[in-house]
Amino acid sequence: MVISLTCGTDGEAQPFQAHYDSFLICTILHWLLCYFVHEAAMKPTLKQIAEKTGYSISTISRSLANSPSISKKTRDEVHREAREIGYRSTARKRRQRKKKKTLHFAFLSEYRIGEFYASMFCGYRDASYKEDVRISLLSVRDQRKECVQTIQQIHKDNQYDGFILFFPALERAHYEEILKVLPSDFPVVSNALIDNPNIATITFDGYNGGRLAAAHFHELGYRRLGIIEGPAIRPESRFRSNGFLDYVQHQPDLELTWRFSGNYEFQSGIEAFQAFRKGSQAHPADAIFAANDSMATGFMEEARAAGLRIPDDVVILGYDNLPTGIHRKPRLSSIDTDFIELGISSIKTLKNKISKQGYKHGTLSLIPVHLVQRESTERK
């Protein structure tokens, strides 16, 4: 749009043109400048609160910061006046802008293919969501030889706020070496059971798991019991066996009639059944507790191939309650281990160490387990 004006000194009409767009922009800028100047002038200040309350600006500032050196009565009065005039503390604004740091923990283990590790990782994933932290999964190829050096190097990289360790093959001496290469205040927990733990340990109550298995067979009326044990060198394996054996020993009407030493692998379950059939008795036990689901499913597969019916000819119960047991025919009864709860408890322990609340090296916390009954232990 163009505006034409007439002006001049010689009486002749001379056109003058001004671009309205430029004029409009200048007008808007003028209005904005006036607005911000007005807002700045009207913005509540500490001085205004001081004038209204009669306190010094220093007292006003400390009251708004909730300093314990100022009485509660004075702080309340200052806060009330600040609200009335619309004052907002700059410290409060900074706190609102400041983002909360997300803690980042490393989960270290010698990872292996199989449903156990997959289930454990899924549990930690869900636990990290619930606890609002990040979890990174780091693998150590040989936990006995490389563990200490790997942990030392990862800590030097300074990317993590704490470590969660799962190294079932390690012994107490290995953990002593780990503690030597980490600062004393660095948060670290173990999910593998340790004999006489020297590091905060959180794991499942394997002893009670074994006991629940024996009690379940007892309640179903079975009297001749058997067990497929895990590696005797591992504390958690011994705990499961001891819980089962102690219950049997203290019940006069129960008898342990068959026992096999396995290694937690599926093939070990197959070998257990082969030993079961080659014994001096054609049917050495009526109910079998396997120290993990992999050995239980191996036993079941070989038993079915040999023509035995489960649970009609023999009943079997596993440990860990992995998905593989649910999809078998018959479905496997098992001791359930809650990996989400394990993750939550481990993360909370690391948080407590960071906040210096009740963390101690050498403590042992046991996550409860429970029995899930399915077709493999149904009564005849």
Tell me, rounded to whole angstroms, the distance of Cα 191 from its chain centroid: 11
pLDDT digits (tens, 9 = 90+) for 253-309: 999 999 999 999 999 999 999 999 986 566 799 999 999 999 999 999 999 999 999
Instruction: Give the residue, 343 or 147, on which the prediction is more confident.
Output: 343
Q: State whether 109 and 158 are in the same domain.
A: yes
Q: State whether 224 and 261 are in the same domain.
A: yes
- Residue that terminates a domain, selected from 70, 97, 124: 97
Overall average pLDDT of the 32-47 stretch? 59
Helix then strand count (H, E) for the chain reads 14, 14
- Residue that terminates a domain, selected from 52, 77, 97: 97
Q: State whether 220 and 152 are in the same domain.
A: no
What is the spatial distance between Cα 286 and Cα 314, in angstroms, rounded to a whole number?
A: 5
CATH of the domain at 6: 1.10.260.40
Asked whether residue 155 carries a pLDDT value surpassing 80, the answer given is yes
What is the spatial distance between Cα 24 and Cα 30, in angstroms, rounded to a whole number?
A: 10
Q: State whether 151 and 259 are in the same domain.
A: no
Mean pLDDT is lowest, of 71-80, 81-90, 150-159, 206-215, for 81-90
pLDDT bracket for residue 142 (50, 70, 90): confident
Q: Which one-letter DSSP state was computed for residue 377?
A: G
Share the mean pLDDT of the chain. 84
CATH of the domain at 174: 3.40.50.2300
pLDDT bracket for residue 31 (50, 70, 90): low
Q: Which residues of 327-347 are buried (b: 16+ CB within 10 A; e: fewer)?
A: ebebebbbbbbbbbebbbbbb
Asked whether residue 380 carries a pLDDT value surpassing 70, the answer given is no
Query: According to the model, what pLDDT value does residue 282 have?
Result: 67
Q: State whether 88 and 145 are in the same domain.
A: no
Asked whether residue 15 carries a pLDDT value surpassing 80, the answer given is no
Query: According to the model, what pLDDT value does residue 361 have?
Result: 67
pLDDT bracket for residue 34 (50, 70, 90): low
Query: According to the model, what pLDDT value does residue 40 have?
Result: 47
Residue type at position 363: T
pLDDT bracket for residue 39 (50, 70, 90): very low
Query: According to the model, what pLDDT value does residue 100 have?
Result: 64
Q: State whether 213 and 325 are in the same domain.
A: yes
The dihedral sign for the CA sequence 270, 271, 276, 278: positive
Instruction: Give the residue, 148 or 245, on which the prediction is more confident.
Output: 245
pLDDT digits (tens, 9 = 90+) for 336-356: 999 999 999 999 999 998 887
Asked whether residue 230 carries a pLDDT value surpassing 70, the answer given is yes
Query: According to the model, what pLDDT value does residue 98 have?
Result: 53
Q: Which residues of 208-245 are buried (b: 16+ CB within 10 A; e: fewer)?
A: bbbbbbbbbbbebebebbbbbbbbeebbbbbbbbebbb
Query: According to the model, what pLDDT value does residue 141 have?
Result: 77
Q: State whether 72 and 145 are in the same domain.
A: no
Q: Which two three-digit tokens encode residue 1?
A: 């749009």
Q: State whether 328 and 211 are in the same domain.
A: yes
Q: State whether 230 and 326 are in the same domain.
A: yes
pLDDT bracket for residue 202 (50, 70, 90): very high
178 lies in which domain range?
104-204+340-366
What is the spatial distance between Cα 216 and Cα 371, in angstroms, rounded to a whole number?
A: 8
Is the pTM higher than 0.85? The answer reads: no
Number of domains in the chain: 3
Asked whether residue 5 carries a pLDDT value surpassing 60, the answer given is no
Q: State whether 48 and 89 are in the same domain.
A: yes
Mean pLDDT is lowest, of 16-30, 204-218, 296-310, 350-364, for 16-30
Tell me, rounded to whole angstroms, the distance of Cα 322 from its chain centroid: 19
- The closest alpha carbon to 213, from 334, 325, 378, belongs to 334
- Residue that terminates a domain, selected from 97, 129, 146: 97
Instruction: Give the residue, 39 or 258, on which the prediction is more confident.
Output: 258
Q: Which of 22-31, 36-45, 92-101, 332-341 has the highest mean pLDDT?
A: 332-341
Overall average pLDDT of the 320-349 stretch? 94
Asked whether residue 334 carries a pLDDT value surpassing 60, the answer given is yes
Instruction: Give the residue, 238 or 76, on which the prediction is more confident.
Output: 238
Q: State whether 244 and 325 are in the same domain.
A: yes
Q: State whether 109 and 192 are in the same domain.
A: yes
pLDDT digits (tens, 9 = 90+) for 52-69: 888 888 788 878 888 766
- The closest alpha carbon to 355, from 225, 195, 187, 197, belongs to 187
Give the residues across from 108 on adjacent strands.
138, 165
Query: According to the model, what pLDDT value does residue 161 have?
Result: 93
